[in-house]
Each structure stands twice: as C-alpha cells, then as structure tokens.
Structure 1
Amino acid sequence: MATRRITRTSTNVGLSRNQPPAKIPVMTRIPPIKRTRSTTDVNCGPEQKKRSVFGDITNKKETKKTVNGKTGIPVKPNNAKITRSKSKIPTVCPSDPVKDEPLLINLTEALDLTEKTQPVDLTKKTQPLQSSAKTQAVDLTEKTQLVESTEKTQPSIKESTESEQETSEEVIDFDSFDKEHADQPFWEAEYAKDIFIYYKKREAQFEVPDYMSRVQTDITPEMRTILMDWLVEVQTNFELHHETLYLAVKLVDMYLSKIRIKRTYLQLVGTAALFIACKFDERILPQCEDFLYVCDSAYTMEKLFEMERKMLVTVNFELGIPLSYRFLRRYCKVANIGIKTMTLGRYILELTLLEYQFCYESESLKAAGCVWLALKMENLKWNAMLTHHSGYTNEEAKAMAKKLNQMLWTPNYKPVNEIYSKYSHEVFLSVAKIPKLQMDQLEE
C-alpha cells in the first residue's frame, strides 16, 4: 500500500488565496520506553546450567565469588556510583644517571685495560655491562663476516647470471640453413639432414683396405698417383662436376681392392670408372669416342664396355657411395663458411686423391679435417654447428688436419701438378698460393 507524506504545500491545495492555510497538528514526543530484564526462564526444558548474559566465553576458568551466600558473578547494585580510583599505578622510571655514571667510567677503564692486555678487577656491577659489551662486539664481528661473505658471493652470483645470459644468447638453431632454403627444391632441405645421416651410416660398407700390399702386385702407389692426376686433367678439360671425379676415384679404389690387374690396364680401369661416373652424375655426358681419344686410342670401344660391365658387377651396382666432397660442401653450407675458405678446403681435399694413404680413411672425417685446416689457415675456428652436423669434435677434426698439413709439406707427388695449376687460377680464387702453416701453428 502506497503512503503519502503530508507537507504544508499539500495541505493548502484546493484553497483560495483569501482562505488561511490549514494548520498542521504538532506531534508530541512519546516518552522513552524502559526496558527491563525478563524474569521468565526462556529455556522451558529440563534444568540447564545457568550462565550470565555476558559471562566468560573463553576457555579460562574463573573462581566464582559468593555474594550473600549465593554463588555467581558479582553484580554491582544499581545505586552504585562510578568513582575514579585514587590508587596510583607504579611507573618504571629510569635509574638515576648520576648513580650510573661510575658504572660507565668503570666500563671505559675496563676496555682500556683489556686493550693493554692487563688484568682488570671489575666489580659486580660492571660484570653485566662487560658481558653485554662482549656480546655486542661478537654480534658486530658476525655482522661484518656476513657482509664480507655476501660481498664475496655477489660476484659469483653475477658471474653465474652472466654465464646464463651468455648461454641463453648462444642458443644455436642447427637447422637454420635448411629452414632458409625450404622453398628451394634443388637443396632438398626437408631431406638433406636425413640423407647425410644415411651417408655416414653407409661409410663402413664402402671402406677400402690397404690393397697395394695385399692384392696388387704389378702396380704401385706412384702409378696410382699418376692415374689420379690424369683423371683430374680429364675432368678439367671435359668440365665435369667434382662429384663425378670423386666417384670415379672411389670406383677405381674399390675395383683395385678386389681385382688384381696388370699395369697395362690401369688407364682402362680409370677411363671406365670415369665413364660410369659421368652416367651417374652428369646431365650431358661426353661421347664414348671422347673417352677413347683421351686414352690416345690405346683401347677399343669393346674393351671399354667390357671393363664397364666388370666394374659394375664388382661393386655390385652400388653407385650411391658416400663421397668426401659431398660432406665438405654440406659442412661449409650449414656453417655459413665463406666461398674462399670452402674453396681452400676443396683444394686440400682434392690433393688427397693423389695420396694413397688417404684412400682408406673415412670420407666424412677427411672432409672435417679439410674444413678444420682451411679454417685455421684463414684464422677461423671450428664451431658447434660443425660439430653437430659432422659428428666430430674439435680434437678429432684436428687430428686429421695434422695429417693433411703434413701431406702439404712432404707430398709423395710433384709439387706442381694438375690440381695446383687448377686452384692457382683466379676462377678458384688462387687458394693454392695461400702460405701453408707450420705444424706448431696448429696447436695455437
């Protein structure tokens, strides 16, 4: 139900101007209602323990006092007046400074005497002060030790944080090269890493033993060096890929490690190996007449085809051979090595084709050693990216680089050969003319 508030304006509504306004009756105040405590018992049930209204609600037990023979909490009478207590609260005042002055004097004298390492006879009053002074001194020494320890630990904490920041900043994306070339189909970036892992697993299948002392009796390592130098010349004249040259050399070593031949057929073996390698790697391969022409027509067409068939059967038609040149190019590309350093590594690696002692070394290890030596000659270092992709540590690559550097100083071939002439040209940045390193410089 809606209520309405009566005001002076509302009472005057409907009256004319001449009529006097209506009078509002004055409201008289209602006297205050006195509240008294009820005497009836609220709890009508069985007898319960009586408890005052504002009794103790804690677990503390108080002793009840008896008032007029009844137990309970004492209640003041209604007529009791509140008066201010006249009892004074005792205050704790400090001791008299005049009386304590001898104690301070005795303390200073005691401290002076202890510094002079003289026996001091202190009174009973100075003993507590002396003990407190000692405890304060001990506390001060402990605080200074804590400060010194924290100052010592702060540099170590800073160093640890700096090392953590350096490690966080040195996080390397080992697949950065493949990600950058993911949109280029010729790089095969999606499968390149798996391909070279597969190549490295197959290296053991194509290892070449020391066949000169076990299998061959009519040819020598020097004859093999002459044959390899001639193959490099043919590859340069025909402008063949370097993969073709390395595959031909590998086929020659694999065939000679299983079949004994006479020296008169050594050039035919090299020609047939190059002929097969051209079919495998080249897009436009030379004609058969060209291969017979470079042999100075020493062999017929039928002899070339017959040697080709024998070689394919001997190697079991396995032509997907892991080659050191492929490993070297892969290492240089993923590590973002410059073209000059990579060409220098290719020069060192191609010189190993002339050395018989390197034909039975691991292909990937030879490539890693050539990259390590080329980096050293260019004042660069082996890094984590090369370790990740090659699988060889700095020490392992360094051990192979020592052998390669020894080969540069004491070669078993002519110092001026076809490889030196090729890499002395401006097309190959004249890397063959870069001065060689001394053996002790490799340790620096």
Structure 2
Amino acid sequence: MPKQFDINEHMRAILIDWLIEVQYKFQLMDETLYLTVNLIDRFLSLYPIVRKKLQLVGVTAMLLACKYEEVSVPIVEDLILISDRAYNRKEVLDMERLMVNTLQFNMSVPTPYVFMRRFLKAAQSDKKLVLFAFFIMELCLVEYEMLNFPPSLLAASAIYTAQCTLSRFKFWSKSCEYYTGYTEELLLECSKRMVAFHQSAGSGKLTGVYRKYSMPKFGYAAKAEPASFLLNATL
C-alpha cells in the first residue's frame, strides 16, 4: 500500500476478516463481498487514509457494492450500527462521495468471483468442490500478498487447490487448462500459498473465514485436511 502511511497490511486483514462476517450476518451475495474488497483495495491504492477512518472505508465500500449488486440494500443506519456507531450518517455519505469520485465511478470490474463461476463450470464441480474452492478464495481475500496475482489466476488456483485437497492427489484436467488458460505449472506457486493459508486458518486472531466455513451450511469445508503434499510438489 504505497499511498498509505498510517495503515498497514495487518490492519487491512482485520478489516476484510470483519467484513466477511458482516456479509454473512446481512446475508449478502458473494458478488457483493468480492466487489467490496476490490473497491477497498483500489481506493487505498489511490487515496491516503488515517487508521481511524479505515473501518469507515470498509462499510462505505460495502454500501457501494450493495447498491451495485443487491436487490435489497442495507440502509446506512444498519452499517453504522454494525460498526458500533463509530461513524455517523454524514461521515458515511461523505466517504461514499469521496470513494466514487476517486474511483471515477468505475464499479464494473472482473473480481475473482466472476472467474470462479465460469471455471467451476469447466471443472464440472459438485457442491463440495464449490464450497471448498470458495473457502480457499475467501482466505485469499484477507491476505494482501495475494493481490500480486491476477483475479483469473486466483480463481483457477483456488479450484486446482480444491481438487487436489478433495481428491488427495494433484489433478488438473485438460478441460480446466483449456477454459482457464492456465497450466498446472502456472498455478502451483499460488496454490502452495493457498495450502499454507488453509493450514493456519483455524489459528491466530483472524478466523472469520474458518468459522464461517466450519458451519453445516457450508459443508464443513474448512475441516478438510489441507493438501500439504502440494507444498513440496514440483513439475
């Protein structure tokens, strides 16, 4: 975050982990979560923010994403309440104006979610694979380092990691390679990081994604045994 002097990657991680819980609490669509994170990262890359305003950026980004993706949008007061009344209505609306102007009203962006839906069809995935792939992908949302990878590569790597985890061996079909445009070799570096995130997902302070995907609704996806064999894999 070269533009930022008062916030760091760990603060961003805390914010995203919290927003994942907010998304689940409000029962918002997955598209909304991914767009929220995208808006936050693009805004922070352009505009310096003091740490006491970081949560305001987060709730405002979610408000904007809801307006773009949702049929029923949470009211501003709901977001103020969920942030423990740290901000008032005027502050949220002022930040909304600042964010859309800074981003030049560019709300239509290719997030990893867009590629995930397409690639999962190519993988002929069942519900178990879908849930686990999204678990891995949401772990990546929290990690700032994963912004180094293109959204399409993140999506393909999440599906590759999910297939390897559930089958317990390396697997990437010719069909997946064709429709994603990525060979297994191109996915391996990103996939290894995903496995490492899975290994540590239930420990530490940021466990929002792990707790979410440990519930029956999400098929206990987080409880799967990590594909540790990929960490030493070579091609």
* TM-score for the superposition, normalised by structure 2: 0.93
Which residue number in structure 2 is paired with residue 308 of structure 1?
A: 96
Structure 2: 5+ residue stretches without partners: none
Shift of 1:275: 0.3
Aligned to 1:245: 33
Please tell me the residue identity of whatever aligns with 2:196.
Answer: Q
What RMSD over aligned residues (CA atoms) do the two structures have, in Å? 1.9
Answering whether residue 108 of structure 2 is matched by residue 320 of structure 1, we say: yes
How many pairs were matched up? 232
Q: Which residue of 2 aligns with 1:383?
A: 173
TM-score by length of 1: 0.50
User: Where do 1:123-142 residues align within 5 Å?
Assistant: none
Which of 259, 262, 276 pairs up with 2:47? 259
Q: 2:147 matched to which residue of 1?
A: 359
- Distance in 2 (alpha carbons) for counterparts of 1:388 and 1:294: 44
- Tell me how far 1:230 sits from its aligned partner: 1.0
SS in 2 for 1:297: coil
Query: CA distance change for structure 1 residues 376 and 229 in 2, over 3 Å: closer, same or farther?
Result: same
Does residue 429 in structure 1 map to residue 215 in structure 2? Answer: no
**Aligned to 1:378, what secondary structure does the other structure show?**
helix
Given that residues 329 and 342 in structure 1 are in contact (C-alpha distance below 8 angstroms), is that contact kept between their aligned partners in structure 2? no
Is 1:230 the counterpart of 2:18 in the alignment? yes
The 2-side partners of 1:322 and 1:254 are apart by 13
User: Letter of the aligned partner of 1:403 in structure 2?
Assistant: R
* Equivalent position amino acid for 2:174 in 1: A
Give the counterpart letter for 1:286 in structure 2.
Answer: P
Higher relative contact order (CA 8 A, sep 6+): 2
> Does the 8 A contact of 2:131 with 2:218 survive in 1?
yes
Does the alignment pair 1:293 with 2:42? no
Aligned equivalents of 2:174, 2:127: Cα separation in 1? 20
Question: Greater CA radius of gyration, 1 or 2?
Answer: 1
1:39-118 correspondence to structure 2 within 5 Å: none
**Cα offset for 1:276?**
0.2
Residues 416, 269 of structure 1: alpha-carbon distance in 2 compared, 3 angstrom cutoff: closer
The answer to whether residue 193 in structure 2 is matched with residue 403 in structure 1 is: yes
Matched, 1:268 2:52: no
Structure showing the higher helix proportion among its residues:
2
The code of the aligned residue for 2:77 comes to E
Alpha-carbon distance, 1:229 to partner: 1.0
- Counterpart amino acid of residue 213 in structure 2: Y
Deviation at 1:414, TM superposition (A): 2.4
Report the CA distance between 1:408 and its aligned residue.
2.8
- Over 3 Å counting, the alpha-carbon distance change for 1:318 and 1:414 in structure 2 is same
